[in-house]
Amino acid sequence: MKQYPHLYIGGRWVEPADPHYVELIDPTREEAFARVALGSAADAELAVSAARGAFERFSATSVEERIRLIDRVIDVYESHADEFAELIAREVGIPVSNRAQVTGPADHMRVARDLLREYPFETRVGNAIVRREPIGVCALISPWNWPVQTGVIKMIYGLAAGCTMVVKPSINSAASGVLMAQVLHEADVPPGVFNLVNGRGREVGDTLARHHDVDMISFTGSTGAGKQVGAAAAGTVKRVCLELGGKSANIVLPDADLERAARWNIQRCFVNAGQSCHAPSRMLVHESQIEQVVPYLVDEARRYRLGDPLESTTTMGPVVSATQYTSIRDLIQSGLNEGAHVVTGGLDRPDGLDRGYFVQPTVFTGVTPEMTIAREEVFGPVLAVLPYRDEEEALRIANDSPYGLGGYVFGSDRTNAHRVVNGLRAGRVSYNGAATDSYTPMGGYKQSGIGRSMGKFGLEEYLEVKSVYGFDEEAQALPALVGSVETVPSTSGAPRA
């Protein structure tokens, strides 16, 4: 069994103050494959202290220094790519064939690095200087479903901004968190800038959220857990960035290419065995076209090859844990109990797989908006197909949710589809399956979150804004924070720069 006995604090590998451990269960084999040290509130305190001690020096580094640092991180990370792929297959069941889980983090690092070259950390508004400065010590709590990428997005924008950080991955993906700390160590990130404390949310996470020396907390996870993080952070009035649950709708308009819409919906919904917060898990189809769509959905769902995620031919692995497996099956059962109809998949184990947390790709029709599977985030390979009578009803059903993370529209008439897109209350909306762009912001409306990650808006989550008065253009010899200076016209009647 692989051993991960250390935390990473102040640039050193250290044993926990009160050593205790968790065994990571391989969801394919239902047996332990690794043992990871867990930290406590005392370790979180030490990590925050290390980050605070490193902040003054690191926040004063130049853009060029941070670009070089990110380049080193990219190089080291890519040298460990195969190790990451194998590890997350063992941790959370993600097939090694899903290379996006491994290549994506490096792509996001490059985006953050490139933004640094042009981002105006100082702007002029009339005779004032508006500065954007690193917010301080950041607590970064990431989930298991994108075990490397989500944490990397948080970490790399924190580094780009000049912040220091304490990172707490999900316990389910704690080993890949340790490997990421090894990457930062090998890349010579200055001591105290990056600190890793694996641990339980109710202890380590709560300590970080409440800590008076943590200036910002970024959390990705369930809406329920996000509410707890926000409540804990309120006592010290720190910045909170939350990416939470989703129940995204895909509105398939009557003039859409039905086959394309159906096959894309299955592919996007069932990536990661459906364990994706942006999954289009509600597909809204005109009531006259349900029978046309179903054969395409069934055919595409049955193309998945379930099996050992370490095998290159596997396209869907198990779900992450016994708890997740039980929760998904309970929700499938609720769909059956409430009168929905399974057209493929269901409760039975996949053929030939007598162990492992495998769930068949499942599609329900006959779903109504009040059913549990239409309202709750299943977080598994389960799609609910809902009929609608007209576009007004489709938008009403799509928006009748506490969530607002993602949205999707398929249709041929671009003008009409644009109107429907504008009616969706969601943070990211894709038309006809268009790919997302890592330079654009990601985040949610309503109970899907607060704040944005990625791109310029993601960088600004880690920056404070300071207005400085009394320095005219002749005072340009003032030391700029970093980067370029942008001039913005004044609207107050003051002299313009």
Q: Where are the domains of the chain?
A: 2-244+448-460, 249-439
Catalytic residue among 45, 243, 377, 461: 243
Give the model's pLDDT for residue 471: 84
Q: Using alpha carbons, select from 272, 300, 304 the residue that is nearest to residue 104.
A: 272
The string over 251-263, giving b where at least 16 C-beta atoms fall within 10 Å of a residue's C-beta and e elsewhere, is bbbbebebeebbb
Over 50: is that where the pLDDT of 2 sits?
Answer: yes
2-244+448-460 falls under which CATH superfamily?
Aldehyde Dehydrogenase; Chain A, domain 1 (3.40.605.10)
End-to-end CA distance of the chain: give it in Å, rounded. Answer: 64
* Comparison of pLDDT for 394 and 495, the residue scoring more: 394
**121 contacts: CB under 8 Å, gap ≥ 6:** 63, 131, 132, 133, 463, 480, 481, 482, 483, 484
Over 80: is that where the pLDDT of 474 sits?
Answer: no
The encoded tokens of residue 388 equal 């609608």
486 is catalytic: no
Distance (Å, whole) CA 79 – CA 73: 10
Distance (Å, whole) CA 413 – CA 397: 21
Report pLDDT digits (tens) over 6-48.
999 999 999 999 999 999 999 999 999 999 999 999 999 999 9
Give the model's pLDDT for residue 492: 42
β-pairing, 12-14 vs 7-9, is antiparallel
Catalytic residue among 163, 241, 269, 277: 277
With H, G, I as helix, E, B as strand and everything else as coil, classify residue 210: helix
Q: Taking a C-beta distance cutoff of 8 angstroms, is the pair 47, 9 a contact?
A: yes
Over 60: is that where the pLDDT of 488 sits?
Answer: no
Q: What is the pTM of this model?
A: 0.94
Report pLDDT digits (tens) over 295-342.
999 999 999 999 999 999 999 999 999 999 999 999 999 999 999 999
249-439 falls under which CATH superfamily?
Aldehyde Dehydrogenase; Chain A, domain 2 (3.40.309.10)
Report pLDDT digits (tens) over 284-299.
999 999 999 999 999 9
277 is catalytic: yes
